[in-house]
Structures are given as C-alpha cells and as structure tokens.
Chain A
Amino acid sequence: MNAIEVRGLNVRRDHFEMNNVSMEVPKGCVVGLVGRNGAGKTTLIEAIAGVTETGSGTITYDGMSIWENEKQIKQDLGVVFAEPWFNNMTSPRVLVESIYPWYPDFDFKYFVDNMQRMEIDANMTINQYSSGMLRKFLMIFVLARRPKTLILDEPTTGVDPVSRNEMLDLLYEFMQQEDHSILFSTHITSDLDKIADYIVMLEKGRVIMNESKEMLQSRYQYSGRGLPDIETIMLDIIGEGTLPNKGGR
C-alpha cells in the first residue's frame, strides 16, 4: 500500500512544465525528493498537497482520490511548506490559540513540550526567529496536528547542523509508528538523507531516478571511495559527476 501514489501527472505553468511524473511514497517509508533548484520539487509537493492546479494524471492517498474522502485525507496529511503561509508578525502562541478551535486534533501538549525541548520561545513574533528556529517551529506545529503522512518542502534550508540533527530526531520519532510515512524535498545533501529509504530525483520536470537508497548505494559501492552521499550521486546522474563508474540513466 502506498501512502501517496502519483501517476502520469502533468502540470503546466508559465515557464515550467511537469511531464508524466509518477512516483510513490510506500506506507511506513521515507522518500527523499532531490533535484536542483527549478527541477519541479515544490510544484510536485504543492500538487500532492492539493494547493496547485494540475493537468492530467492522478494522485491517490492510501489508494483514495481526494474527492473520495477529502476530510480524512486532509486530516492525515501534514504539510510543512517552504514559506510560512501565515502572518509572521504574530507569535506561535497567538497563532496556536487562534487556530486551535478549528483543529480539534491539535495536540497542544505535544506542541508545548517540543517547543520547550527545542528551546523555541513561543512568545516571540515569528519574524524574529532564526531560520533554524522557524523550520523547527513549523515542523512541530504541523506534527502537533498528528498527521499520518508528513510532507516537507526544503525543511533544512538555512538550518545549522545542530538544529538539523534535532529535526532528524523529530522525524525518527514520528517514524516509530509503522503506518507513518514521510516525503521531503531537498536540493542539497543534508543529514536528512540518513532517514530516507527511497530517493526520487527530478530534473526539468521529469523523474530521472526512483530507487531505494540501499540499491543506489550498492551500485556505487565499488567506486573505491566508500558509500557516496546523495549529492555525489545526484551530480553523477545529471552528468557532472566525478565518480569513476557512472551510474547512468
């Protein structure tokens, strides 16, 4: 069973086209969506999150289309967008208090405990946060809704290593439940690669690679340099790499 399944998806925008994209997030697994800037990662995530118009193709959630059970699907899906969608002159405390009545499942205790654990002051206005604090807050905020499938767009951009490690902790904690799944995007090698089970690579609006990390690394294992990180593999596949044995398309 796939938590998310995209089949033959096309999206057209002014200067961008996504062609025949198929990929899946198997239930209980973590998928890393990699590719350089402009490859279509955010477009794909927005399509899955249902916030952008799509052309032909299908997206299913636990085998269901959005119109079959919109309420359930939206409840189970937690999306951390690259840009905060709310007024950043407000503080998390005010924000949570204002949305609380609309989200009966919002786990207030989880939110408060983890904000404290990550040492993020919920009374500061969000525009005063460092990018590390902002990213961690957004993640905790979405996780507090207790989703089953978590989607994160570029969660580690501008985040220091210590905070990245804390974010990784939150993700591993989330994944202790067998029916939880994660899709995250990144344009750089980040510590998040460690948790990924599958890597999907986008380039110019197409999927150019979709493989388990195990398979991927075993293919590169005999390069004589130890197991390469995802960034090296990405450069290699796009054709600017330095590895002796080409992975090839």
Chain B
Amino acid sequence: MTTPAVPAGSGTSEPEVPRPWALLAELTHACPLHCPYCSNPLELKARSQELATGDWQDLMRQAGDFGVVHTHLSGGEPLLRPDLEEIVTAAESAGIYTQLVTSGTGLDQARLGALTAAGLRSVQLSVQHADPAASDRIAGRRSFAAKERAAALVRAAGLPLGLNVVLHRDNLDALDAIVELGLAWGVDRIELANAQFYGWGLLNRAALLPAHEQLAVARDAVDRWRTRLGGHPDLVWVVPDYFDGVAKPCMGGWGAVSLTVSPDGTVLPCPAAATLPGLDAPNIRDHTLEWIWDRSPAFNRYRGTAWMSDTCRSCSRRDEDFGGCRCQAFALTGDAARTDPACGLSPDHGLVRAFAREGGADGPLPYVYRYPGRAATGQPDREGVSRSGR
C-alpha cells in the first residue's frame, strides 16, 4: 500500500481507480429476526465459514491504509459476534469511523459500554413498524421492546442514533407514526428505505409491494415532516425504484465508492452481487484489499461504460445512474449487463411495470419468514439472543 508522501501537484498522480470510502462489514449472517424483506442471499454463510477475529482486524488495517473512512458493522446481527469489540478497536485504530447496524436485540448496558470503550462512534437501529405488535409480526419475533431499550441506552451514551425502517405495504400507512416514534426515541436520522427485492426479499415481493397510492401518500407525508422538522432529525427517503421509472445509481457505481465483505471473507462491490453468475468474487483470505479493488476482474467488470448496452452508453444519464443496478438487471432479465429494468428507458421496463401494478392488489398475504433450517410458522418466538448464535 502506498500513501502519497508528497503533496498533490508535485509530481504524484492520483491512483488509477478512486479509492473506496466505505466498507460494509457483514460480520455474520446469523440473526435473531426473521424479516421477510431480508436482502441477504438465500444461501447464508454458516458460522463455521465466518472470518476469524484476526482476519477482520487485518482487513480493517488494510482498509484504513487504503483510504476507507467509514465502516458499517452489520450482518445479520453483528452483536452475535462475541469479538465485535475487538473488531471495533481494530477499525478505530486504523482511523475508520465505526457505525453499528443492529436490530437492537442483545444490546444491553454492559455490551454498549464495552463497544463505546472500544471506540464505537454511532448506531443505526432497525425497527419494523411504529406499533409494537406490528413490528414484532413483521420481524417474526418479539423484539420491539428490546429495540426501545436499545434506543434509550444509545441516547444515554451520547452516541448518534439513526433509525432504519424498511418500508412496504404493511407499514407505509404508518409513516406518520414511524416519524413520531423516531422523535420520541430522540434519533438524529430516520432512514425510510422502500423495500428492494433481492435475496430473500424477492420471495416476498408479492406480499411486500405497496399500492401506488400508498407510496404517494407516504411521500407527501415525508415532505410535510421535512418542512416541519427543518432538518433534524434528518429524513432520508430511499426511492422505490419499481415505481419511479428511474434507475437508482446503485452503490454510487460499481466498485466506485464502497465495498462489502461477506461473513466468509468474500469481497463484493455490493451486498447483493454474490448472486451474479460467473462473477468469481475474490476473498480477502486469498488477496490483498488493494489487489481486489484495483485489479480483480470482479471489481472491474462493470466499471466505466464499456460494458454498457447501447441504451445506457448513449444515454445522458449514464454518469449519474451508471446503468442502475446490476443485480436487479440479472434478477429480472437473466443478464446482469442489461439496463436496469427499473429505468423507463429500458427495453425490459414492462417487467417492472407489471410487478408495480400488482402491488397491494389483494388483501394481506402471508410472509415467507426467514427461518434458517425451519419451516415458516409466522409465530414470533421468545425474546432473547443467544450470544453463540444458531
């Protein structure tokens, strides 16, 4: 790893590929919740395949040297890793700002104290609905009370707290109550992320797709709240790309801004990219982060515009949306290099229009809950998190 030792303008050139800013560390796929919208792949990595403590520590050192500024410690539920504190310390020592992305289950005073002492900077907490029973039903587990306690602990510790809510047909109508919940919990930021359909979530698309009117009402509500709140808490609306006719600038471009490391050390340009056939994703056990980012075929596959179809290559928006999402193009058309069907200019846009019309059509549909190795029952199980996982 080379760091420019001389100031810019005195002969050094910028690295060929701009360096990544952020690292999504999926520390484990184990999770106490069973959310139907889970975007993790159908095939989860077993705990026996997970990177060891030392692997994550070494990765954080490499990432800091390479220019990564932020890491999101996520999963699954990262609190299920008993060595989370050691990983936080490694990131902090490497100069990387740490954010814990958690369901809140298992976050007690002692654990938060240990994480804060290790250098944890901020927390993002998921909630499934503003109503406790509805939240528990969507999560497939009694968890709302634990989330409420976790929020209070994070506030008391003085860490910035963000609320993350995946929106779909069963909670969009509660948008006002969700914002009010965030205010009551004293959060700094509310991420209102319209469900995207990858991994497990694709199985539940029919049950989760909202009606068009639901979205329109929710969007208006967000506008009203933004005006009223004046920027605090910050409301982030992640667009529902099935409905807007506009492709999202997925990940800010392939291998452009951030990278994801899966529990087993697979390094990906985005969390869903493991599904792409023939990607041959590199593993941090086998290669340096520098080689993976700069040189690996996987990270170079959809960089720039040479790979694009004519639809994208000739489009004035090609440098704004980068052709949209490769994983969605693959999931819907079988060809990851096609224009994202979410884009109104895509020849495959009819596929997305057809799905969008189905949204909210019938009464509530049952979820296919994510229970590894078990049949879906729809019954929330008992509260409490096993530290050893499942």
Q: Do A and B actually bind?
A: no
